[in-house]
Amino acid sequence: MIRQAIVSISIAAWCGFLSAQSFPSKPMRILVPSPPGSSPDIRARQIAPKLSEALGQPVIVENRPGGAGLIAAREAAKAAPDGHTMLLALINNAIGDVLNPDPCCRLNEALVPVSRFTMTPLVMVVHPSVPASSLKEFISYSKANPGAVTFASSGPGSINQLVGGWIQSETGIRMLEVPYKAVNAELPDLAGGQVMAAFVVPQVVVASIKAGKLRALAVTAPARLASLPEVPTTAEAGLPGVEAIVWNGIFVPAGTPQPVIQVLHRELVRAYNAAEIKGQVVNTGGYVAADSPEEFAAFVRAENAKWSKVAREAGIKAEQR
């Protein structure tokens, strides 16, 4: 019996070794749960050429927006577990696993982590037509006009929906959520004043803030951003404890051989830490995590616990997707 087990382990290890030796054997793809030009899309297109150069195969970025990341996750989970299909999962995917878990594509289960890429706080911005120059003024205006102030979200289970709900539960204000189908899809309406407020990553709004086209009220971080030094943190603006760091990272289908995951991890970390990529991430308000699969898995578990508590206290419930 023991001998049989040893033989089975040896065969599995040998098969894994062969998989790594022949990997990759065809073009690879990164599924991104957001539209072209969005911040996750930009990140994926930064690392794709690095992976292609290192591994000797084309790496194609394919956008699959919608469903708070679920559409892309479903497709990734159904792919062959051979490392040729990757998912750039977002914090929205982890929140979705808490609010409305779908066994088809849960992170850490149907999809396994390779390495986390970036960590970036959100910045709360309003259209200049909103009569508020600070978070306190925004809260006062919202209290005086219950239900009249609109804020954008990326739909049910999105980080900006939860942050909006968190602020409402902490302050007692009542805002009207305007859901969009994907990350950053609200930007045209925000710029045009059709929606009044939003919680977005700095890189997509820094230029608009500096040009006076949007007004920044706070960053959901423990410290101010170098790219927006004049914008206070949520704690400085009067909401201590309300912090939200958005993240993304690469997952592959469960069953992908460990040696293949190790190859991907090695080359992803190398790509993340390339000077031009790391520098751009820092310049836009974030930082590179580049952790191990085990560290990434533990991080996802902690995020699930945090956002489950926020959703419960904000009264945000699951919706059918």
pLDDT of 149 over the 50 cut? yes
- pLDDT of 79 strictly over 90: yes
Tell me what the mean pLDDT of segment 108-135 comes to: 97
Q: Which residues of 95-134 are buried (b: 16+ CB within 10 A; e: fewer)?
A: bbbbbbeeeebbbbebbbbbbbbbbbbbbbbbbeebebee
Which helix (H) or strand (E) segment is 232 a member of? none
Lookup: tokens for 88: 């750039």
Helices (H) and strands (E) in the chain, counts: 11, 11
Give the chain's domain count: 2
Q: What is the pLDDT of residues 255-313, one digit of tens each?
A: 999 999 999 999 999 999 999 999 999 988 899 999 999 999 999 999 999 999 999 98
Give the confidence band of 4 by pLDDT, cuts at 50, 70, 90.
Answer: low
Asked if 88 contacts 65 with a C-beta cutoff of 8 angstroms, the reply is: no
**C-alpha 200, offset from chain centre:** 11
Residues 158 and 188 in one domain: yes
The first and second tokens of residue 296, run together, are 């990434």
Q: Is residue 224 part of a domain?
A: no
Cis peptide preceding 179, ω within 30 of 0: no
Residue 181 lies in a domain: yes
Name the maximum alpha-carbon separation found in the chain: 76
Residue 218 has pLDDT above 70, yes or no: yes
Residue 152 in domain: yes
Quick one: 64 and 23 in the same domain?
Answer: yes
Q: Which amino acid is at 107?
A: L
Task: Answer yes or no: is 309 within a domain.
Answer: yes
> Residue 224 and residue 193: Cα distance in Å, rounded?
26
Among 66-70, 203-207, 273-277, 290-294, which is the least confidently predicted range?
66-70
Q: For position 164, which CATH number holds? A: 3.40.190.10
Indicate the SS3 state at residue 160. helix
- pLDDT value of position 102: 81
Q: Could you report how far apart the first and last alpha carbons of the chain are, in Å?
A: 47
Q: Does 20 lie in the same domain as 104?
A: yes
Judgement on whether residues 144 and 51 belong to the same structural domain of the protein: no
Residue 48's alpha-carbon distances to 18, 53, 87, 222, 269, in angstroms, are 24, 9, 12, 31, 12
Cα–Cα distance list, 197 to 91, 128, 164, 234, 297 (Å)? 20, 10, 10, 15, 33
Flag whether 75 is in a domain.
yes
Token digits for 288? 């590179």
85 and 127 inside one domain: no
161-200 residue pLDDT tens: 999 999 999 999 999 999 998 888 899 999 999 999 999 9
Residue 113 β-bridge partners: 251
**Which of 83-92, 137-146, 279-288, 289-298 shows the lowest per-residue confidence on average (mean pLDDT)?**
279-288
Residues 51 and 267: their CA atoms lie apart, in Å, by 6
CATH number at residue 282: 3.40.190.150
Using pLDDT thresholds of 50, 70 and 90, give the confidence band for residue 2.
low
Please indicate, yes or no, whether residues 127 and 85 belong to a single structural domain of this protein: no
Q: Do 200 and 305 belong together in one domain? A: no
Please say if the pLDDT value at position 14 is more than 50.
no
Instruction: Provide CB contacts within 8 A for 288, sequence distance 6+.
Output: 117, 118, 119, 272, 273, 277, 278, 281
**pLDDT at residue 5 above 80?**
no
What pLDDT does residue 184 have?
87
Considering the domain architecture, whether residues 15 and 106 belong to the same structural domain is answered as: yes
Q: Locate tokens 């930082």: which residue?
A: 287
Q: Which of 246, 254, 261 is nearest to 107 (CA)?
A: 254
What does the mean pLDDT of the chain come to? 91
Q: What pLDDT is recorded for position 103?
A: 86
Instruction: Give me the pLDDT at residue 3, please.
Output: 54
Q: What is the pLDDT of residues 21-41, one digit of tens each?
A: 789 999 999 999 999 988 899
d(CA 287, CA 118): 6
pLDDT of residue 10: 44
Range of 138's domain?
A: 123-219
